[in-house]
Amino acid sequence: MRVDIRSPGTRPETILLEPGQALLVGRNPNSPSVVNVERPTPAAPIEHTLTVPSASISSHHLLIVRDADAVRVEDLGSRNGTWVKLPPRTPVQFPPTQELSIQLALPKGTSEEIDLPADFCWTNDSEYADALTTEIGRWFQRRDFPVRLSTVLPNDPASGSIGRLPLGVGRDLIVQPLGTTGAEWFHYVSSLERFVARQNLLLGTQKALLEDGLIVSSKAIRATLARVVDAAQAGSKTLLLLGPSGSGKDGMARCFHRQLARPGPFVAKNCSTLNAEFARSDLFGAERGAFTGSVQRINGAVERANEGTLFLDELGELPTAVQPMLLRFLDHGEYERVGHRGPPCFSDVRFVGATNRDLRAAVVNREFRDDLWFRLSAQVVDVPPLSQRADDLSAFLMQRLTKGGASIFQALSPGALELVQSYAWPGNFRELGNFADRVVVALAPAAAMINADLCKRLLEEGALTPLRMGRSPHPSARRGEEGKSERWGAVGATATAAFAEDHAGAIPRTWDDVKLYVENYLKPLLFAEMAELDTQERDQIEMRSLVDRIHADRGTISKQVARYYDRFVSRN
């Protein structure tokens, strides 16, 4: 008799049973332990065991015994049960006293949506693998689902197995459940496959941006990058990038084009350089002889970008006479060259616009067409200024080297670094790059380090106005861990002082006092330090980002935010 054993995620196995033989099936089958188990019917000698390396199979899952005139199938108390496929038109008899449960077809698992793990930060390939593994481990911990995580060299792609996830850094992540699982395991793996695929996509995109010279270390710019990638993956036809000059909008536009993976080129035009008289021909082209000096046909940017991406930088400066022509093109894909007669021309492009102007205000002031705004605003992404990207600032300074081989970050004294981190940087990366160039010159050969006074002079050389310190230094941007240690060490003293102030100078003396001290004074301060609440206004807090970063539920975060601001901010 032939017995076929099938389990999700494994290859089918076939065993031949002779009369009087038995087959034990499980994840870790052990014949003696099963033989010694008392059962209503005597056990035949177990001639065969079959190991099924699947998390949905119990260690001792199933026993199949072939008697002289029948086959007996016995589930050995497995977690997920045993399902038998009946041959067509084959009757099966069951004892009338036995409970019977019948399900038509195998269950396909739950369709419930699962929140994916949070995005994470990394600076190199090794950190990427470690950070991704850590985040997935936390994700399973929140579900009280024990697993073992390990990274290995890639295996043969054709031998893929459940729980083996290829990373974008030349390694595979192995996710192994520590125990018998149900159908939720396959749903978890499916969710993780989508998560890892997205992270690998972001990894490749960030590497490409780094090669282009764009820094993507801060959480703010990574979130922006993710939105741009998501827009491209969704097939968006337009993207509008808003942000100050020098913040990286050009790099984001090129990223969008790469992710579209269309065969056409990336064509960029700066609207501030378009002459009002010739803006139409620059964008849409002109026929030969259309105007004085036109001796050959001009192919406009729209035509050159066919099957690719058209990027109009400084879109807010686009001449008003050309705006309705751009609107018509975006609506219908058709345009007309200057001097053209006959049916309109067509071009298949994806469009990206960027500006540092407040386009909404420009629409209100009738400086920009409202219908064009509504056409472009399907996907609007704000690119944050450098003043909101302290990690990008530090990463830039660490990458730029002095003539001595040290980084500019290392060449700044603690006082100079504090000046740099608290400066508003209205010119963003253009201003930062010029400052870095001045630092390199100042260090050769007169100075071994940039002190605070010299740093202030170098900053002012490129500033339009006297220095404006726009924010406090971000904790992650301080040199070493000394600043963090001091702040964490001060938390206990601050909590104790606040407790004493509220209790007539007393310190906690009973266990109830200790619980009150921890809940109302110590926990809010510890939370504020982790969430960096001292650098944020209460109405600027993004709850979702705190949930992802701190890995606490929304209710806990809301409670701690309220306690911190009510006790330690509002009353000061």
State which residues form the domain around 458: 386-477
Instruction: Please state which of the ranges 59-63, 380-384, 475-479 shows the lowest mean pLDDT.
Output: 475-479
Q: How many domains does the chain have?
A: 5
One DSSP character per residue, 243-264 reads --TTSSHHHHHHHHHHHHT-SS
382, 409, 439 — which closes off a domain? 382
351, 382, 413 — which closes off a domain? 382
pLDDT at 264 (0 to 100): 94
CA neighbor of 253 nearest in space, from 263, 239, 243: 239
Say yes or no: 536 and 438 in one domain.
no
pLDDT at 476 (0 to 100): 42
Instruction: Please state which of the ranges 101-115, 136-150, 169-183 shows the lowest mean pLDDT.
Output: 101-115
Residue 528 pLDDT class (50, 70, 90 cuts): confident
Q: Which residue has the tokens 């994700």?
A: 139
Say yes or no: 449 and 362 in one domain.
no
Say yes or no: 132 and 241 in one domain.
no
Mean pLDDT calculated for residue range 257-280: 89
Say yes or no: 176 and 205 in one domain.
yes
pLDDT at 390 (0 to 100): 86
- Whether residue 196 lies inside any domain: the answer is yes
Say yes or no: 279 and 155 in one domain.
no
One DSSP character per residue, 510-543 reads SHHHHHHHIIIIIHHHHHHHHHTGGGS-GGG--H
Say yes or no: 146 and 252 in one domain.
no
Residue 105 pLDDT class (50, 70, 90 cuts): low
Q: Report how far residue 393's alpha carbon sits from residue 220's, in angstroms, rounded to the nearest whole number.
A: 12
Highest mean predicted confidence (pLDDT) among 489-503, 515-529, 558-572: 515-529
The one-character DSSP state at 43 is P
The beta-strand segments (E) located in 358-449 are 380-382
Say yes or no: 374 and 324 in one domain.
yes
What is the model's pTM?
0.62
477, 509, 530 — which closes off a domain? 477
Mean pLDDT calculated for residue range 265-288: 86
Beta strands at 164-166 and 172-177: parallel, antiparallel or unpaired: antiparallel
Mean pLDDT across the chain? 81
Torsion of CA 559, 565, 566, 568, to 10 degrees: 120
Residue type, 499: F
198 versus 488: the higher-pLDDT residue is: 198
Instruction: Please state which of the ranges 98-102, 231-235, 277-281, 323-327 shows the lowest mean pLDDT.
Output: 98-102
CA neighbor of 192 nearest in space, from 207, 180, 177, 178: 177
Q: Report how far residue 529's alpha carbon sits from residue 527's, in angstroms, rounded to the nearest whole number.
A: 5
Residue 359 Cα distances to 237, 292, 327, angstroms: 20, 35, 15
The answer to whether the CB of 390 falls within 8 A of the CB of 421 is yes
- Whether residue 369 lies inside any domain: the answer is yes
Say yes or no: 327 and 417 in one domain.
no
- What is the CATH classification number for the domain harbouring 408? 1.10.8
Measured over the CA atoms of residue 186, residue 187, residue 193 and residue 195, the dihedral's sign is negative
Residue 442 Cα distances to 131, 477, 492, angstroms: 38, 23, 43
Residue 310 pLDDT class (50, 70, 90 cuts): very high
Query: What 3-state DSSP class applies to 385?
Result: coil
Give 371-428 pLDDT, tens digit per residue.
999 999 999 999 999 988 888 898 889 888 888 788 888 888 888 888 898 888 989 9
One DSSP character per residue, 475-491 reads GGGSSTTHHHHHHHHHH
Spell out the residues 6+ positions from residue 373 whose beta carbon is closer than 8 angstroms to its own: 359, 360, 363
Beta strands at 238-242 and 380-382: parallel, antiparallel or unpaired: parallel
Instruction: Please state which of the ranges 157-166, 323-332, 335-344, 547-556 shows the lowest mean pLDDT.
Output: 157-166
pLDDT at 169 (0 to 100): 86
The answer to whether the CB of 162 falls within 8 A of the CB of 181 is no
Q: Report how far residue 17's alpha carbon sits from residue 20's, in angstroms, rounded to the nearest whole number.
A: 8
Mean pLDDT calculated for residue range 244-268: 92
Residue 570 pLDDT class (50, 70, 90 cuts): low
268 versus 571: the higher-pLDDT residue is: 268
445 versus 543: the higher-pLDDT residue is: 543
- Whether residue 100 lies inside any domain: the answer is no
- Whether residue 87 lies inside any domain: the answer is no
Mean pLDDT calculated for residue range 545-568: 79
Instruction: Please state which of the ranges 66-80, 387-401, 453-467 shows the lowest mean pLDDT.
Output: 66-80
Say yes or no: 535 and 495 in one domain.
yes
Q: C-alpha 518: how far from its chain's center?
A: 34
499 versus 393: the higher-pLDDT residue is: 393
516 burial class (0-12, 13-18, 19+ CB within 10 angstroms)?
middle
Say yes or no: 544 and 418 in one domain.
no
Give every strand in the sheet of 172-177, ordered side by side: 147-152, 172-177, 164-166
pLDDT at 254 (0 to 100): 93
- Whether residue 486 lies inside any domain: the answer is yes
- Whether residue 327 lies inside any domain: the answer is yes
Q: Report how far residue 489's alpha carbon sits from residue 209's, in angstroms, rounded to the nearest whole number.
A: 39
- Whether residue 82 lies inside any domain: the answer is no
- As separate numbers, helices (DSSP H) first and strands (DSSP E) second, the chain gives 20, 16
Residue 232 pLDDT class (50, 70, 90 cuts): very high
pLDDT at 111 (0 to 100): 45
pLDDT at 387 (0 to 100): 87
Q: Report how far residue 114's alpha carbon sits from residue 139's, in angstroms, rounded to the nearest whole number.
A: 11
374 versus 100: the higher-pLDDT residue is: 374
Say yes or no to pLDDT of 128 above 60: yes
Say yes or no to pLDDT of 239 above 90: yes
Residue type, 250: D
Residue 301 pLDDT class (50, 70, 90 cuts): very high
Give 36-47 pLDDT, tens digit per residue.
444 444 454 577
pLDDT at 192 (0 to 100): 92
Query: What 3-state DSSP class applies to 494?
Result: helix
pLDDT at 534 (0 to 100): 64
Residue 214 pLDDT class (50, 70, 90 cuts): confident
CA neighbor of 345 nearest in space, from 305, 381, 309: 305
Residue type, 93: Q
Residue 479 pLDDT class (50, 70, 90 cuts): very low
Say yes or no to pLDDT of 96 above 70: no
- What is the CATH classification number for the domain harbouring 327? 3.40.50.300
Say yes or no: 378 and 402 in one domain.
no
The answer to whether the CB of 421 falls within 8 A of the CB of 474 is yes
274 burial class (0-12, 13-18, 19+ CB within 10 angstroms)?
buried
Crossing angle of helices 428-442 and 452-462, rounded to 10°: 130
Say yes or no: 282 and 369 in one domain.
yes
- Whether residue 83 lies inside any domain: the answer is no
Say yes or no to pLDDT of 223 above 80: yes
Say yes or no to pLDDT of 308 above 80: yes
Residue 149 pLDDT class (50, 70, 90 cuts): very high
pLDDT at 47 (0 to 100): 74
Instruction: Please state which of the ranges 10-19, 94-103, 263-272, 382-391 shows the lowest mean pLDDT.
Output: 94-103
Beta strands at 172-177 and 350-355: parallel, antiparallel or unpaired: unpaired
